[in-house]
């Protein structure tokens, strides 16, 4: 790991810059990110399909709204665990040209107990501390402090988020608004495409879309059960990248992380010379 050869410039950015940088990171690491997203997302998607398997194969508009709502809740709740492998990949990719998949899997499995504890059992207490996942996965603090030095995960989480309530809320609100717009755009595009393909129905594509939103059109759930979760996880994956970048930005603003990296890199260089 080369601390002074990071792939992303370590400097402060506005949140809109982070949203743009997230798209650039997705483009740069599209294939490996998709692979690491699949590692966590596919088991979660299979579980969700099983949990919602009681819905009939043909549903009307009201049943569809219920299905979409439940699926959204499940994805939001599972996202911290399912997106953890992608977050670990980003942490390594920041400093390493070729992250090692063995190390990512080992760190992921080692972090599972804390993720289940903090993001599963104690989730409600960390709603306003959005970087719990990054702290668990990338900083790897113990659940309980050991010895005089170091911090537990809980203490580290409190220290990093302290005094940032206003900024974190504004970023959360912008994220929610952008995520909703992207989700509606992607899902609406798929609905429009499907409606055009079904335009042979009486009234054409425009009436087909109208019937759907008025609850008068029966929908084949087997199609929606694939495409809607795919759209949800795509949006969640993008914002996992944005959240990682925002975590790095917060460490820069609060802790001068860029200076720390320079000092640590120089220390490592001197140690290599002295060997």
pLDDT digits (tens, 9 = 90+) for 80-135: 999 999 999 998 887 676 778 888 888 888 899 999 999 988 888 888 888 999 99
Which pLDDT score, from 0 to 100, does residue 10 have? 67
pLDDT tens-digit readout, 13-43: 888 899 998 999 998 899 999 999 999 999 9
The DSSP symbol for 118 reads I
Is residue 152 in some structural domain? yes
CA neighbours closer than 13 Å in the CB half-sphere of residue 231: 22
* 245 or 256, which is more confident: 245
Strands (E), 48-190: 58-59
Is residue 4 in some structural domain?
no
What 3 state SS string does 219-251 have? EEHHHHHHHHHHHHHHHHHHHHHHHHHHHHHHH
- Per-residue model confidence (pLDDT) at position 97: 67
pLDDT of residue 191: 72
Q: What is the mean pLDDT of residues 40-61?
A: 84
Range of the domain at 189: 15-268
CA distance 115 to 133: 7
Answer whether residue 51 is part of any domain. Answer: yes
Segment 67-80, tens digit of pLDDT: 889 999 999 999 99
Which residues 6+ apart lie within 8 Å of 43 measured at CB? 82
**How many CA atoms does the CB half-sphere of 266 hold within 13 Å?**
6
3-state secondary structure of 54: coil
DSSP state, 150? Answer: S
Judge contact between 165 and 128, C-beta under 8 A.
yes
pLDDT tens-digit readout, 199-218:
544 444 455 555 555 555 55
Residue with tokens 């809740």: 73
Q: Tell me whether residue 102 is in a domain.
A: yes
Q: How confident is the model at residue 58 (pLDDT cuts 50, 70, 90)?
A: low
Q: In this predicted structure, what is the pLDDT of residue 201?
A: 47
**Structure confidence at residue 179 (pLDDT):** 94
> What residues does 200 pair with on adjacent strands?
none
Specify if 131 maps to a domain.
Answer: yes
Residue 220 within a domain = yes
What is the rounded end-to-end Cα distance, in angstroms, of the chain?
18
Point out the least confidently predicted range of 46-60, 115-129, 136-150.
136-150
Question: Does a structural domain hold residue 1?
Answer: no
Of the two residues 159 and 146, the one the predictor is more confident about is: 159
Considering its fold, how many domains does the chain have in total?
1
pTM above 0.75? yes
Mind listing the pLDDT tens digit for each residue in 179-203?
A: 999 998 888 787 777 667 665 444 4
Alpha-carbon distance of 18 to 24, in angstroms, equals: 10
Judge whether 176 lies within some domain: yes
DSSP code per residue over 158-184: HHHHTT-HHHHHHHHHHHHHHHHHHHH
Distance CA 191, CA 185 (A): 10
Q: Are the beta carbons of 260 and 32 closer than 8 angstroms?
A: no
Give the length of the chain: 275
User: DSSP states of 3-44 as a string?
Assistant: TT--SS--S---HHHHHHHHHHHHHHTHHHHHHHHHHHHHHH
Angle at 220 between CA 215 and CA 224, to 5 degrees: 90
């Amino acid at each position: 790991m080369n601390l002074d050869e990071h792939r992303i410039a370590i400097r402060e950015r506005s949140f809109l810059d982070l949203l743009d940088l997230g798209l650039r990171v997705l483009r740069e690491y599209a294939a490996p990110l998709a692979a690491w997203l699949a590692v966590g997302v596919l088991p979660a998607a299979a579980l969700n399909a099983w949990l919602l398997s009681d819905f009939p194969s043909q549903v009307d508009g009201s049943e569809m709204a219920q299905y979409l709502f439940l699926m959204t809740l499940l994805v939001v709740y599972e996202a911290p665990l399912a997106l953890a492998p992608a977050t670990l990949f980003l942490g390594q990719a920041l400093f390493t040209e070729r992250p090692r998949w063995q190390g990512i899997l080992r760190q992921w499995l080692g972090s599972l107990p804390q993720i289940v504890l903090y993001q599963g059992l104690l989730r409600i207490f960390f709603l306003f501390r959005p970087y719990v996942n990054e702290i668990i996965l990338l900083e790897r603090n113990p659940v309980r402090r050991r010895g005089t030095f170091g911090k537990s995960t809980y203490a580290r989480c409190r220290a990093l988020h302290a005094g940032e309530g206003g900024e974190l809320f504004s970023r959360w609100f912008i994220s929610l608004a952008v995520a909703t717009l992207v989700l509606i755009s992607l899902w609406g595009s798929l609905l429009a495409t499907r409606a055009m393909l079904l335009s042979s129905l009486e009234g054409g594509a425009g009436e087909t879309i109208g019937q759907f939103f008025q609850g008068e059109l029966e929908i084949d759930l087997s199609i929606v059960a694939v495409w809607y979760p795919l759209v949800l996880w795509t949006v969640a994956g993008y914002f996992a990248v944005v959240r990682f970048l925002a975590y790095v930005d917060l460490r820069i603003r609060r802790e001068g992380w860029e200076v720390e990296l320079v000092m640590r890199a120089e220390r490592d260089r001197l140690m290599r010379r002295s060997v």
